[in-house]
């Protein structure tokens, strides 16, 4: 009896190891995920769901040791028009490289894009964002920066807000590419979808503590309580750049209508600056959109709270309207 028990225990453990190391889509000949030209191929909604399920296994059952998807490449082979949701019901972090090839998916992808992970050439339909947040947990050892490049969002983003335990009020953030960019790079991305939220709402990112380059917003951005006591703001590209965190926004364009209450900007709603010798850089940005709010409303920045922000070669062409504290470039500072 003992021998049978040991045999079945061994069989169970072996089957679990096999299951974890061999997702069904890796059986496609010639693919191993080690490079883009040998990437795992995502052909269908079921393939995408399986990827999501294995992310859950990595995160909660393996605790990333070993992490089968870390650093691996995935290629989207066809448009996936149906919404793919993990059978676990959870939206999970991603540590690999996802190549969209200009193909479409319906609804967002991952809860977070971690250090060194990338997404490129993806088109998002349905509801967004592409990822919940971009996280770059740097240590004394330099690590690759996570990035999202050449992506387009046609998705609607609606964020009813969450309760802030300090203020007791509903707040964001929300954005089409990511809700919060914490040290990553967003490059050559476009938002065409409308975004509605409470606070810290941006066409590309709700919050930005990283780098945003060559991005465009054409969608209508509406915040129902932006800048309430200047908690955050609403902008065509970024809602808020948090205090004491470096970030840069360059070569970005807003074409969409931006409507909020306080701290409303064509590019950034609320720029808190950085209280160190390294200022936030806002360079070569243009607003063509209609920008409206009650106070602290600007064509480029709604409210710039300190001197640790450099604004250079930025132009506003759009109409800016407010009851007080309004300006073509900066509304309030």
Residue 237 · residue 268 · CB < 8 Å? yes
Report the half-sphere exposure of 266 (CA within 13 A, side-chain side): 29
pLDDT digits (tens, 9 = 90+) for 41-76: 999 999 999 899 888 887 777 766 778 888 999 999
Binned at pLDDT 50, 70 and 90, residue 138 comes out as: low
Note the CATH architecture for domain 156-333. Answer: 3 Solenoid (2.160)
Residue 129 · residue 159 · CB < 8 Å? no
Whether the predicted pLDDT of 261 surpasses 60: yes
**Chain centroid, CA 93 distance in Å:** 12
Phi, psi angles (nearest 5°) of residue 116: 90, -15
The DSSP result for 94-138, as a single string, is B-SEEEEEEEEEES--EEEE-TT-EEEEEEEESB--SEEEEE---
pLDDT averaged over every residue in the chain = 84
Residue 32 · residue 26 · CB < 8 Å? yes
Residue 237 · residue 204 · CB < 8 Å? yes
Question: From CA 234, how far away is CA 222, in angstroms rounded?
Answer: 8
Whether the predicted pLDDT of 29 surpasses 70: no
The predicted structure's pLDDT at residue 160: 55
pLDDT digits (tens, 9 = 90+) for 202-214: 999 999 999 999 9
**Per-domain boundaries in the chain:** 156-333
Whether the predicted pLDDT of 3 surpasses 70: no
The predicted structure's pLDDT at residue 166: 59
Single pTM value for the model: 0.88
Closest-CA residue to 322 (of 256, 240, 265, 238): 265
Whether the predicted pLDDT of 241 surpasses 70: yes
């Amino acid at each position: 009896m003992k021998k049978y028990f040991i045999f079945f225990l061994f069989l169970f453990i072996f089957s679990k190891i096999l299951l974890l190391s061999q997702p069904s889509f890796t059986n496609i000949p010639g693919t191993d995920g080690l490079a883009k030209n040998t990437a795992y191929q995502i052909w269908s909604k079921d393939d995408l769901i399986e990827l999501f399920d294995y992310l859950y296994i990595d995160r909660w059952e393996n605790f990333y040791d070993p992490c089968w998807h870390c650093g691996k490449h995935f290629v989207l082979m066809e448009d996936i028009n149906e919404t793919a949701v993990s059978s676990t019901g959870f939206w999970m972090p991603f540590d690999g490289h996802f190549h969209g090839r200009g193909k479409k998916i319906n609804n967002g992808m991952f809860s977070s894009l971690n250090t060194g992970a990338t997404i490129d050439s993806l088109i998002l339909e349905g509801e967004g964002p592409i990822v919940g947040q971009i996280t770059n947990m740097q240590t004394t050892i330099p690590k690759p920066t996570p990035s999202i490049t050449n992506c387009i969002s046609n998705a609607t983003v609606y964020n009813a807000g969450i309760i802030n335990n300090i203020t007791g009020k509903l707040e964001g953030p929300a954005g089409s590419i990511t809700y919060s960019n914490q040290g990553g790079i967003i490059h050559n991305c476009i938002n065409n979808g409308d975004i509605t939220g409470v606070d810290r709402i941006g066409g590309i990112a709700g919050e930005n503590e990283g780098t945003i380059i060559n991005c465009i917003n054409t969608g209508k951005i509406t915040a129902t309580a932006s800048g309430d006591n200047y908690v955050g703001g609403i902008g065509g590209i970024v809602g808020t750049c948090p205090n004491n965190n470096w970030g840069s926004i360059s070569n970005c364009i807003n074409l969409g209508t931006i409507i909020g209450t306080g701290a409303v900007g064509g590019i950034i709603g609320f720029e808190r600056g950085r209280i160190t010798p390294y200022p936030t850089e806002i360079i070569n940005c243009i607003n063509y959109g209609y920008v409206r709010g009650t106070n602290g409303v600007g064509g480029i920045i709604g409210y710039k709270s300190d001197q640790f922000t450099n604004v250079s070669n930025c132009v506003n062409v759009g109409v800016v309207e407010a009851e007080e504290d309004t300006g073509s470039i900066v509304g309030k500072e």
